[in-house]
């Protein structure tokens, strides 16, 4: 499961600017000068991270005379971050709200993990600052409203490298993180064999300490992810989707980097087979990201990820689709392919499972009747469209030589035959 935002409020922004200017809290050369000074402080802070200098990093934090305990907190944050293999780290001030010797800065934090991120992760931050002796100091650095936490904000990060993976964990022993790396290292070749070479063929897995930690990384309530073993999300994408079914995952639209985020509570109750299916499914979303767009229906993106996850495992259709098999046995064969609304969190768990199973069977049918290569071509053909309307129909016609009506009829018969 994974990620799919938000229009800029230009009118509100203009009004706020006018109000702050009239109140003497923004606008004018004073604020312009302060903004430049704050940017220089954040540049120093970023350089300290890149250079691994705890002393320089802590020096940008407010001394005890301004905010007691802040330098100790900065020292802890720096040490938590030290385990992350960073290739780059930079801030850009996007707004400053000043009142005398106090200020709040809106900023973008951009960072890359060495060997894994081709483009920077971008996350919004809100920094509180105080001025003393002609210099600005950071008093707090936290996620902006509606932004998610970063892993190092939850504790000291431990990194384990695999052949095709990097696992970053908090509050987990090295042996447990090594297990995740082994699963991911098996997933990457499996996905490459099914999807091809056109992706990084590497994955980053984040393992927080608990469900609450996972929710913090996603910027969402923990209740929505209680039964979910893992999700895949692009860091720049605000919305996520997925399923509480343990085998399920998700994908988001275009993003410079993906993270597989594990819920250790739900993941821990899975057996060895289920754990591997989860990591392979999520890795599939990483691989298919560039070919997944707003035109891609969830039955295709989730069904394809499940198809790769189960590919070569020997699982029969009734074993992999028990909820849909039960419905077929009761005479309830679905009339249409699952809609995006069928993959929502808040509905009935059985209905949600049937949506995933229906998408998986649709992809399985394509692989059996038209071949695995055509299945991949169909996925790409749908994803290259800019809009949902007509995308599946065009892909079916161009790649499989069939219509949506004919395909749906064949799928319904396939469901009855394989599960009846």
- Quick one: angle between helices 174-195 and 372-383, nearest 10? 90
From first to last of the 420 residues of the chain, give the pLDDT tens digit. Answer: 544 333 333 223 332 333 333 333 344 445 678 999 999 999 999 999 999 999 999 999 988 877 778 899 999 999 999 999 999 999 999 999 999 999 999 999 999 999 999 889 999 999 999 999 899 999 999 999 989 999 999 999 999 999 999 999 999 999 999 999 999 999 999 999 999 999 999 999 999 999 999 999 998 888 878 878 899 986 333 222 233 333 333 333 334 468 999 999 998 899 999 999 999 999 999 999 999 999 999 999 999 999 999 999 999 999 999 999 999 999 999 999 999 999 876 567 788 899 999 999 999 999 999 999 999 999 999 999 999 999 999 999 999 999 999 999 999 999 999 998
The residue with tokens 């087979």 is 273
Instruction: Look at residue 278 and give its three-state secondary structure.
Output: helix
Q: Are 163 and 149 in contact (CB under 8 A)?
A: no
- Domains of the chain, with CATH numbers? 2-147 (3.10.450.50), 148-288 (no CATH), 293-420 (no CATH)
Instruction: Give 387-392's long-range contacts (Cβ < 8 A, gap of 24+).
Output: 387/294, 387/295, 388/294, 388/295, 388/297, 391/295, 391/296, 392/297, 392/300
Q: How far is CA 156 from CA 72, 82, 124, 130, 411, in A?
A: 15, 8, 21, 27, 49
Angle at 363 between CA 398 and CA 270, to 5 degrees: 155
Instruction: Look at residue 7 and give its three-state secondary structure.
Output: coil
Residue 230 DSSP class:
E
Q: Are 21 and 33 in contact (CB under 8 A)?
A: no
């Amino acid at each position: 499961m994974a990620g799919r935002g938000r229009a800029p409020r230009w009118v509100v922004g203009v009004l706020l600017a006018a109000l702050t200017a009239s109140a003497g809290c923004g606008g004018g050369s004073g604020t312009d000068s302060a903004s430049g000074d704050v940017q220089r402080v954040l540049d120093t802070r970023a350089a300290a991270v890149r250079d691994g200098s705890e002393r320089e990093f802590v020096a940008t934090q407010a001394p005890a005379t301004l905010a007691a305990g802040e330098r100790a907190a900065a020292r802890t944050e720096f040490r938590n971050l030290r385990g992350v293999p960073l290739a780059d780290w930079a801030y850009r001030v996007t707004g400053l709200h000043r009142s005398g010797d106090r200020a709040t800065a809106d900023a973008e934090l951009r960072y890359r993990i060495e060997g894994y991120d081709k483009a920077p992760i971008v996350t919004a931050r809100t920094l509180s600052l105080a001025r003393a002796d002609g210099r600005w100091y950071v008093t707090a650095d936290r996620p902006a409203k509606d932004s998610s936490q970063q892993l190092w904000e939850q504790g000291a990060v431990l990194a384990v490298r695999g052949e095709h993976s990097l696992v970053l964990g908090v509050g987990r022993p090295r042996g447990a993180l090594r297990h995740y790396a082994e699963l991911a290292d098996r997933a990457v070749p499996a996905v490459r064999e099914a999807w091809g070479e056109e992706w990084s063929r590497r994955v980053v897995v984040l393992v927080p300490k608990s469900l609450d930690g996972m929710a913090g990384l996603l910027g969402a309530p923990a209740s929505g992810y209680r039964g979910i073993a893992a999700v895949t999300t692009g860091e720049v994408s605000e919305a996520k989707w997925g399923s509480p079914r343990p085998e399920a995952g998700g994908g988001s639209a275009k993003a410079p980097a993906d993270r597989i985020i594990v819920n250790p509570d739900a993941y821990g109750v899975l057996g060895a087979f289920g754990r591997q299916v989860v990591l392979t499914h999520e890795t599939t979303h990483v691989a298919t990201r560039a070919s997944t767009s707003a035109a891609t229906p969830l039955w295709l993106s989730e069904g394809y990820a499940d198809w790769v996850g189960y590919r070569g495992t020997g699982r029969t259709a009734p074993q992999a689709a028990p909820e849909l098999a039960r419905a077929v046995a009761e005479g309830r064969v679905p009339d249409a392919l699952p809609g995006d609304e069928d993959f929502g969190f808040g509905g009935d768990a059985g209905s949600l499972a049937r949506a995933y199973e229906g998408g998986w069977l649709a992809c399985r049918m394509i692989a059996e009747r038209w071949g695995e290569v055509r299945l991949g071509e169909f996925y790409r053909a749908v994803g290259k469209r800019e809009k949902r309307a007509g995308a599946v129909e065009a892909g079916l016609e161009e790649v499989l030589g069939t219509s949506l009506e004919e395909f749906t009829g064949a799928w319904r018969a396939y469901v009855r035959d394989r599960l009846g």
